[in-house]
Amino acid sequence: MAVSVRPERFTMVHFDADEIRDLVERLVADVGLPADAAVIVEVDETTPLGRSVLASVDPVVLQLESGALEDPKRPRQLDPVGAADVLGRLLLAARDRRDPAFGDPPPDEELPLPHSVAWQVYCVGRLSRLGYRTQPARRRYQFRNRHGFTDAADAVFDELWTAEGLTWADLTAASDRARAALPA
């Protein structure tokens, strides 16, 4: 596999491109992307914000603001655990988008927010089962904010968090089912 990190040398944050590359290589293997998949990680170190985007699936291009990889308790330092959460979620979404059996979700900028959040829950749940440390309570709260603070939303969250082999149609149906339980 060919993983490249841009920039190769960081000047504004104390990140090591080799450490990021090693983490991404391990994640690529663990999430099941093809061994020959080209992955480009582009980090904008000029902003401490935390935006992270899957910009392309062939090659896989991950665009991140440095805050997405930063340790919240140690500014400008890489947080390997948090980075694995962000990068792993994006790589699982890339794997889903590359799999014809998953279906054909719209581009990220056209995804309804509840569907996007449901997909993130599905991705991070799988990442958790691969042994990576995640924040299920944070994801549940995010899910509730888009699907309601209801027992039905919690049941759908649990379903998505533990699921394997879902399709885009499965994800949107689950998200829509949770939202349908909202009080009028």
In this structure, how many other beta carbons lie within 10 angstroms of the beta carbon of residue 7?
A: 13
Render pLDDT for 49-90 as a digit per residue (tens, 0 to 9): 999 999 999 999 999 999 999 998 999 999 999 999 999 999
Instruction: Indicate whether 1 pLDDT > 90.
Output: no
Torsion, CA 158, CA 160, CA 165, CA 168, rounded to 10: 160
Q: Give the C-alpha separation, 52 to 50, whole Å.
A: 6
DSSP 8-state symbol, 14:
B
Nearest CA to 123 out of 65, 166, 69, 154 is that of: 166
Give residue 184's pLDDT. 78
Render pLDDT for 155-168 as a digit per residue (tens, 0 to 9): 999 999 999 999 99
Query: What is the CATH architecture of 2-98?
Result: 2-Layer Sandwich (3.30)
Q: Write the single-letter amino acid at 51.
A: R
Render pLDDT for 143-158 as a digit per residue (tens, 0 to 9): 999 999 999 999 999 9
Give residue 183's pLDDT. 86
Per-chain mean pLDDT for the chain: 96
Q: Give the C-alpha separation, 90 to 132, whole Å.
A: 14
Res. 11 pLDDT band, cuts 50 70 90: very high
Render pLDDT for 102-139 as a digit per residue (tens, 0 to 9): 999 999 999 999 999 999 999 999 999 999 999 999 99
Q: Taking the domains of the chain in order of start, what are their residue ranges? A: 2-98, 105-180
Q: How far is CA 100 from CA 61, 105, 148, in A?
A: 19, 11, 31
Give residue 106's pLDDT. 96
Instruction: Indicate whether 175 pLDDT > 90.
Output: yes
